[in-house]
Amino acid sequence: MSAEIYLIRHGETEWNRDSRIQGRRDSPLTALGREQARRTGRMLATLGLAGMPVSASPLGRVQATLAILGEQVALGPVTLDPRLSEVALGSWEGLTSSEIRAAYPALVDGVSEHGWGFRSPDGERFDAVAARVRAWLAEQHEPVIALAHGMLGRVLRSVYTGLPADQAMAEPLRQDVVWHFHDGGMSVLKVG
């Protein structure tokens, strides 16, 4: 992979704060989530990324984050791309981590919450999500800001860097950093 990608996860939502699984469902940004978006926007300006094109998930929490980013930095053209939508988690959407652990112990025992992603019995599978991420990456020929989600970001990390899927899914995708993918590798830029 050679495309240069600046990946941003949407700001914290009420469901993130409550450890509730979102998937394709939405909840509003918290005060912290709005502040994370403001700080990230200022960081993009500091990095000299004003005017860079943006490819964003069409889901509401990303759109709310995008609007706040745009108040802090002049963004380039924005493309809404459903391939950057969060992983669909089926019947787990809206449940808390505790509720999932109680209802599906055999599926989640011994796995960190970050690694649960593709264990939902009626959710999307890793290979399907990786295929849509690969298709999106194949179209990226210039540097781009990608605004997306936690699980989708983990899949992007796996596809772009070659990190094994289980390792990529076990790691958090924080909301206070920018993930800079370049030359087949990745670095993490802490938002101030």
Domain ranges of the chain: 5-190
Query: Can you tell me whether residue 133 is helix, strand or coil?
Result: helix
Per-position DSSP letters for 105-116, written without gaps between them: HHHHTTS-GGG-
Q: What's the CATH number of domain 5-190, 3.40.50.720, 1.10.10.10, 3.40.50.1240, 3.40.605.10?
A: 3.40.50.1240
d(CA 140, CA 138): 6
pLDDT in tens, 85-124: 999 999 999 999 889 999 999 888 887 777 777 889 999 9
Task: Determine the pLDDT at residue 1.
Answer: 60
Burial of 40 (0-12, 13-18, 19+ CB in 10 A): buried
Please pick, among 4, 12, 14, 86, the residue that the annotation labels catalytic. 86
**pTM, 2 dp:** 0.94
114 has catalytic annotation: no
- Identify whether 10 is a catalytic site residue: yes
Rg of the chain's alpha carbons, rounded to an integer?
A: 16
Average pLDDT over the chain, rounded to whole?
93
User: Are 161 and 185 in contact, with CB atoms under 8 Å apart?
Assistant: yes
Catalytic residue among 10, 12, 124, 149: 10
Contact 15, 189 (CB under 8 A): no
- Average pLDDT (15-20) is 93
